[in-house]
C-alpha cells in the first residue's frame, strides 16, 4: 500500500483526503514510478471543484510529478528501472507511487533535479506552447502576461525576454511586481490600484499589443481584448477568476477583428513526438540558464488542502512543490 490524496466528492480543499491506496503492478505499456516531488497547478483546483469533471470518483488529483521508475510493464522498451522521469498533463499525481503510460513520460537530463522537474513540467511546457506555437513571440514584440509573478508567469517572463520581447505583466502587489521585474518583466502593472488596459495603451503609445496571455478568465477578459492591436490574439488559457461565459462574437469585430483561442497543454502535447519536443525545448532553456525555475513554496503532500488554500488565496508566487 502507498499513500495518496483522494477526492470522493467535489468541493473545497477539505474534500482532499490522505488515504492508503493500492497501486499494483504496471500493465502493458505502463510503468510504476516512485515520486520524489509533485507539482501544484491551478488545474488541480478545477478538478477538485468539479469545473473540470474527473473521469471517475474517487480520483487522485494532480497533473505533474517526477520520480524514479520502479517497474515496467510488457512492451515498454524506452524506459528501465532506475530511470529518472517526469510528466505533465496526466491526472493522478498526488501520490507517493503511481502507474502511468510510458509514452507520457520523459527522461530527465543530468542537469535537472526531480524537484525542479516537478515544479516546471506543466508550467514550463505550457509556456513553451504559448510562446512558440499558439503565438510565436518574436524579437521586438511587446506582449502582455497576466499573473506575471505566478508559476507560469515567472517562466513566461524569462522565456519571452530570452526571445527578445518587451514584457508587460500584471501582478497583485508591489512585492509581486518586484519579483516579476527580477525575472524579465519590463513593465509591471499592479492591477489592484491601476487600470491595466489604460497602462498598456500608455506603454504602447496607444497601439496595443499583438498578444495577451490571460490565465485569469472572467475578470480580465474584456479588458484583455481592449489591450490588443487590430487583428491581435487573446490567448485565454486559465480561469482563476471564473470561466468566461456568454461571449458576443460581435465584440471581436468592433474591437478590431480580434482573435481569441482557448488552448490546453493536453492538446499541444497529445502525441509522443509533440510531448518530447516540448520537453526538450524546456530543458534547453533551463539548462542553459535562460530560464530559472523558482520553487517558492513546498508542502508535505499530506497537506495538499493547505496548499490549495494558499493558491486560491493568491498567497503563492512562483512554483509550489509537494514532497510525498
Same structural domain, 244 and 153 = yes
Show which of 242, 262, 282 is a domain's final residue: 262
Does residue 211 form part of some domain? yes
pLDDT digit string, tens, across residues 67-109: 999 999 999 999 999 999 999 999 999 999 999 999 999 999 9
Residue 239 pLDDT more than 90?
Answer: no
From first CA to last CA, the distance across the chain in angstroms is 14
Same structural domain, 95 and 9 = yes
Show which of 222, 239, 262 is a domain's final residue: 262
pLDDT digit string, tens, across residues 13-25: 999 999 999 999 9
Does residue 44 form part of some domain? yes
Task: Give the per-residue pLDDT at 70.
Answer: 98
Range of the structural domain that residue 254 is part of: 139-262
Does residue 131 form part of some domain? no
Same structural domain, 253 and 289 = no
Residue with cell 460581435: 250
Same structural domain, 71 and 108 = yes
Residue 1 pLDDT more than 90?
Answer: no
Residue 317 pLDDT more than 90?
Answer: no
Does residue 154 form part of some domain? yes
Contact between residue 218 and residue 239 where contact means Cβ atoms under 8 Å apart = yes
72: β partners: 31
Same structural domain, 307 and 251 = no
pLDDT digit string, tens, across residues 98-157: 999 999 999 999 989 999 999 999 999 999 999 999 999 999 999 999 999 999 999 999
DSSP codes of every residue in 223-282: HHHHTEEEEEEEEE---TT-------THHHHHTTS-EEE---HHHHT-SHHHHHHHHHHH
Distances (CA, A) of 242 to 42, 49, 237, 245, 322: 12, 12, 12, 9, 25
Same structural domain, 208 and 281 = no
Task: Give the per-residue pLDDT at 37.
Answer: 98
pLDDT digit string, tens, across residues 176-186: 999 999 999 99
Same structural domain, 160 and 76 = no
Judged by average pLDDT, the poorest of 49-58, 121-130, 242-251, 261-270 is: 242-251
Angle at 262 between CA 240 and CA 256, to 5 degrees: 105
Residue 318 pLDDT more than 90?
Answer: no
Domain count, the chain: 2
Does residue 127 form part of some domain? no
Show which of 215, 233, 262 is a domain's final residue: 262
Mean pLDDT (the chain) is 96
Q: What is the CATH number of the domain that holds 255?
A: 3.40.50.720
Question: Which pTM was predicted?
Answer: 0.92
* β-strands 30-40, 97-101 pairing: antiparallel
Task: Give the per-residue pLDDT at 294.
Answer: 86
Same structural domain, 100 and 215 = no
Residue 49 pLDDT more than 90?
Answer: yes
Task: Give the per-residue pLDDT at 145.
Answer: 98
Does residue 126 form part of some domain? no
Residue 242 pLDDT more than 90?
Answer: no
The CA distance from 211 to 260, in Å, is 10
Percentage of residues in the chain having pLDDT higher than 90: 93
Q: What is the CATH number of the domain that holds 315?
A: 3.90.180.10
Residue 203 pLDDT more than 90?
Answer: yes
Does residue 132 form part of some domain? no
Does residue 20 form part of some domain? yes
The CA distance from 308 to 16, in Å, is 10
Amino acid at each position: 500500500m502507498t499513500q495518496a490524496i483522494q477526492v470522493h466528492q467535489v468541493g473545497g480543499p477539505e474534500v482532499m483526503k490522505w488515504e492508503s491506496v493500492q497501486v499494483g503492478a504496471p500493465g502493458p505499456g505502463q510503468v510504476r514510478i516512485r515520486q520524489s516531488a509533485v507539482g501544484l497547478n491551478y488545474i488541480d483546483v478545477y478538478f477538485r471543484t468539479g469545473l473540470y469533471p474527473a473521469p471517475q470518483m474517487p480520483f487522485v488529483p494532480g497533473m505533474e510529478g517526477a520520480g524514479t521508475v520502479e517497474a515496467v510493464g510488457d512492451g515498454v522498451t524506452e524506459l528501465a528501472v532506475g530511470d529518472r522521469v517526469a510528466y505533465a498533463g496526466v491526472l493522478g499525481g498526488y501520490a507517493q507511487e503511481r502507474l502511468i503510460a510510458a509514452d507520457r513520460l520523459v527522461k530527465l537530463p543530468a542537469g535537472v533535479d526531480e524537484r525542479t522537474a516537478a515544479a516546471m513540467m506543466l508550467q514550463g511546457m505550457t509556456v513553451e506552447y504559448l510562446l512558440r506555437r499558439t503565438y510565436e513571440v518574436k524579437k521586438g514584440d511587446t506582449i502582455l502576461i497576466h499573473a506575471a509573478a505566478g508559476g507560469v508567469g515567472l517562466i513566461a517572463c524569462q522565456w519571452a525576454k530570452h526571445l527578445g520581447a518587451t514584457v508587460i505583466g500584471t501582478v497583485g502587489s508591489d512585492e509581486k511586481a518586484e519579483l516579476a521585474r527580477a525575472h524579465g518583466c519590463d513593465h509591471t502593472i499592479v492591477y489592484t490600484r491601476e487600470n491595466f488596459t489604460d497602462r498598456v495603451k500608455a506603454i504602447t503609445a496607444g497601439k496595443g499589443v499583438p498578444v495577451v496571455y490571460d490565465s485569469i478568465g472572467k475578470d480580465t477578459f474584456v479588458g484583455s481584448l481592449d489591450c490588443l492591436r487590430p487583428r491581435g490574439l487573446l490567448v485565454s488559457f486559465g480561469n482563476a477568476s471564473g470561466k468566461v461565459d456568454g461571449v458576443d462574437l460581435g465584440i471581436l469585430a468592433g474591437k478590431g477583428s480580434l482573435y481569441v483561442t482557448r488552448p490546453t497543454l493536453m492538446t499541444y502535447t497529445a502525441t509522443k513526438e509533440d510531448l518530447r519536443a516540448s520537453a526538450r525545448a524546456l530543458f534547453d532553456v533551463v539548462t542553459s540558464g535562460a530560464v530559472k525555475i523558482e520553487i517558492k513554496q513546498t508542502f508535505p503532500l499530506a497537506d495538499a488542502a493547505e496548499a490549495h488554500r494558499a493558491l486560491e488565496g493568491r498567497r503563492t508566487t512562483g512554483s509550489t512543490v509537494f514532497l510525498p
